[in-house]
């Protein structure tokens, strides 16, 4: 039986994935590195410092910055990102999400959050969703980033359910790998994701009926 649904935040519940991209593009541009939306796919679901590392490698500048300079660049990126969060309101919740949260709650299916963003509490608050989650995995307590399953496993234990009784929803390839490695079913939101159990181009296709149908196809 489906007992829990665990959501990624950026790019699934709201389009902050685009804000992360805008902020990284600005920082990268300032140090002479160009990044496009296609490269950005590799940054989705990846922690702040790991993202910066990938950008530096991409630009051939891996060894050009000290640890301190790297920390400054990451901090500057975060300032740009946090300023963009001012635009967020409940209107920025992606299509289908509010309705799915309501249906899950009505059916007493538990709701979890698995985001490595240190800004997750602020984003949820701006969307008015803070109280909608039964458990949010705390990014500060995670040792291994996605694609490691740790954050999804932490969410499952916080919800007191087995991963084999849960579905995860992700827009990042690293996130899909993390969900699969945890033993959950994976819904991918996007275009070019692989290893999903169900791939949809938009969150508008999410609803409880569709999730139960997916569950029956793969589990029952
Ligand atoms: C999520 C996003 C990433 C972001 C990471 C860290 O995983 O998909 O793009 O880099 O969170 O976010 P933070 O807000 O802590 O910089
Ligand atoms: Mg995401």
- Tokens 């307590």 appear where? 141
What is the rounded CA–CA span in Å between residue 86 and residue 212? 36
Contact 93, 206 (CB under 8 A): no
Annotated catalytic residues are 8, 10
What is the rounded CA–CA span in Å between residue 97 and residue 217? 22
Count how many Cα atoms sit within 13 Å of the Cα of residue 62 in the half-sphere of its side chain: 5
| Nearest CA, atom 13, ligand 1 | 117
Chain centroid offset of residue 171 CA = 7
Residue 50 CA to ligand 1 centre (angstroms): 10
Indicate whether 220 pLDDT > 80: no
C-beta 20 within 6 A of ligand 1: yes
Rounded to 5, what percent of the chain is helix, strand, coil?
A: 55, 10, 35
Return all residues near 191 (Cβ < 8 A) that are at least 6 apart: 201
Whole-angstrom CA distances from 73 to 16, 42, 68, 69, 92 are: 19, 19, 9, 6, 28
Over the stretch 9-32, which tens digit does the pLDDT of each residue have?
Answer: 999 999 999 999 999 999 999 999
Q: Whole-structure pTM over 0.90, yes or no?
A: yes
Over the stretch 180-210, which tens digit does the pLDDT of each residue have?
Answer: 999 999 999 999 899 999 999 999 999 999 9
With pLDDT > 70 as the criterion, what percentage of the chain qualifies?
100
Q: Pick from 13, 6, 3: which is nearest to 189 by CA?
A: 13
Beta bridge partners of 185: 167
What is the rounded CA–CA span in Å between residue 61 and residue 64? 5
- Would the ipTM clear 0.85, i.e. be above it? yes
The CA-based dihedral angle spanning residues 175, 177, 180, 186, taken in that order and rounded to the nearest 10 degrees: 50
| Nearest CA, atom 2, ligand 1 | 45
């Amino acid at each position: 039986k489906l007992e829990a649904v665990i959501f990624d935040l950026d790019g699934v519940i709201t389009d902050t994935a685009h804000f992360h991209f805008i902020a990284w593009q600005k920082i990268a541009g300032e140090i002479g590195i160009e990044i496009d939306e296609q490269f950005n796919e590799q940054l989705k679901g990846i922690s702040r410092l790991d993202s910066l590392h990938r950008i530096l490698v991409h630009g051939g500048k891996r060894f050009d910055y000290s640890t301190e300079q790297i920390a400054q660049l990451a901090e500057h990126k975060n300032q740009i990102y946090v300023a963009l969060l001012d635009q967020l309101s409940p209107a920025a919740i992606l299509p289908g999400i509010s309705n799915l949260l309501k249906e899950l709650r009505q059916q007493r299916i538990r709701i979890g959050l698995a985001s490595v963003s240190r800004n997750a509490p602020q984003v949820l608050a701006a969307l008015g969703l803070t109280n909608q989650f039964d458990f949010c995995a705390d990014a500060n307590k995670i040792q291994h980033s996605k694609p490691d399953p740790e954050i999804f496993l932490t969410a499952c234990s916080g919800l007191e359910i087995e991963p084999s009784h849960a579905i995860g929803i992700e827009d990042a390839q690293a996130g899909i790998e993390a969900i699969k490695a945890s033993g959950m079913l994976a819904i991918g939101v996007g275009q070019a994701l692989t290893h999903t159990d169900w791939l949809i181009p938009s969150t508008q296709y999410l609803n409880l009926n569709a999730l139960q149908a997916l569950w029956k196809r793969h589990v029952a």
